[in-house]
């Protein structure tokens, strides 16, 4: 396992994985729609080979797939989900896996999402569809299901740049959080030990925090109050029926427990929420505010 193609390479998760693989002597192809972006230039400077393209034109990557040992499949993010976007995502993922199978790729690691199997009840063609297709194929492969990204707090939809914490989730329900750097590290560990992970699905996340606990930590670190804005469920239904159903699922069922012992057996220390805030988060939130 020497040469890896990372899709979505200039996104937060893809970038973290590319850097981690390069630091550990892998050869990395980085797929990006825009090789001229600053993120792409940084990856190239670090030693990645940039590949212009996207998964919607998967046939154009056929020759590249012949050259790689491993594929890290990260699909483009969708911010307002629907039945149509779910189905398109499932189609993109399956086409990429099918090409990997045709071209003899040794191992495919697919990045899904926590509780993709539970979401299957109301999202019949989505990430769990891709997981099943991979694990039932003739390929060697594994699935990583990351928890909520700490970095997502920096998105405009959370409102921290405006002194608000806009929360769409059940406010008392604790969920797992993880940094994209830790996802990149664990992805690298999987590729280094791909035979041990073959056929496995790994729920990957760290500390449990309810939204009000996140708010308290933010206020302590920023040393100022933040307005807590709870988005009503009826508003979520208007914006995205599928996301609203996800929030209802979290409220009613919660997530299954993560096997922290298994994660620790491969990666003893994950980044804590407070550590992430101290190292990068608070500085970036302050930068968001300064740009207002």
**Alpha-carbon gap, residue 291 to 224, rounded angstroms:** 18
| Strand, coil or helix: 85 | helix
**Alpha-carbon gap, residue 53 to 126, rounded angstroms:** 23
Q: 4: pLDDT confidence band, cut at 50, 70 and 90?
A: very high
CA distances (Å), 186 to each of 65, 218, 245, 252, 260, in order? 23, 27, 29, 30, 13
The CATH homologous superfamily of the domain defined by 3-147+178-205+257-270: NAD(P)-binding Rossmann-like Domain (3.40.50.720)
- 215-240: per-residue pLDDT in tens? 999 999 999 999 999 999 999 999 88
Phi, psi angles (nearest 5°) of residue 30: -115, 110
| Strand, coil or helix: 100 | helix
* Enclosing H/E stretch for 86: helix 83-102
| 42 alpha carbon, distance to own chain's centre | 20
- 102-138: per-residue pLDDT in tens? 999 999 999 999 999 999 888 889 999 999 999 999 9
The domains of the chain are located at 3-147+178-205+257-270
> For the chain, what percent of residues have pLDDT higher than 70?
99
What's residue 292's pLDDT?
56
- 83-96: per-residue pLDDT in tens? 899 899 999 999 99
What's residue 42's pLDDT?
96
Q: 290: pLDDT confidence band, cut at 50, 70 and 90?
A: confident
Q: What average pLDDT does the structure give for the chain?
A: 94
- 250-278: per-residue pLDDT in tens? 999 889 999 999 999 999 999 999 999 99
- 11-44: per-residue pLDDT in tens? 999 999 999 999 999 999 999 999 999 999 999 9
**Alpha-carbon gap, residue 131 to 96, rounded angstroms:** 12
**pLDDT over 80 at 1, yes or no:** yes
pTM over 0.75: yes
CA distances (Å), 148 to each of 85, 118, 144, in order? 20, 16, 13
**SS3 of the chain: helix, strand, coil, percent, to 5:** 50, 15, 30
């Amino acid at each position: 396992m020497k040469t890896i193609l990372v899709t979505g390479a200039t996104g937060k998760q893809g970038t973290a994985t590319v850097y981690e693989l390069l630091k550990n002597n892998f050869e990395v192809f980085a797929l990006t729609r825009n090789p001229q972006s600053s993120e792409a230039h940084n990856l190239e400077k670090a030693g990645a080979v940039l590949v212009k393209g996207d998964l919607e034109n998967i046939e154009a990557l056929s020759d590249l797939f012949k050259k790689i040992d491993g594929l890290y499949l990260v699909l483009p993010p969708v911010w307002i989900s629907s039945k149509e976007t779910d189905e398109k995502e499932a189609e993109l993922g399956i086409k990429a896996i099918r090409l990997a199978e045709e071209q003899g790729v040794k191992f495919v690691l697919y990045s899904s999402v926590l509780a993709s199997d539970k979401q299957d009840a109301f999202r019949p063609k989505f990430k769990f569809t891709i997981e099943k297709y991979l694990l039932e194929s003739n390929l060697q492969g594994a699935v990583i299901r990351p928890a909520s990204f700490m970095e997502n707090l920096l998105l405009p939809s959370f409102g921290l740049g405006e002194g608000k914490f806009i929360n769409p989730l059940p406010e008392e329900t604790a969920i797992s959080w993880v940094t994209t750097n830790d996802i990149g590290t664990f992805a690298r560990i999987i590729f280094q030990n791909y035979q041990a992970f073959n056929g496995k699905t790994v729920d990957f996340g760290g500390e449990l925090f309810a939204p009000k606990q996140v708010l308290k930590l933010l206020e302590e670190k920023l040393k100022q109050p933040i307005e807590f804005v709870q988005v009503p469920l009826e508003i979520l239904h208007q914006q995205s029926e599928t996301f609203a159903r996800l929030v209802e699922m979290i409220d009613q069922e919660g997530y299954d427990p993560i096997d922290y012992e298994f994660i620790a057996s491969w990666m003893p220390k994950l980044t804590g929420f407070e550590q992430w805030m101290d190292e990068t988060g608070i500085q970036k939130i302050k930068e968001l505010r300064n740009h207002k």
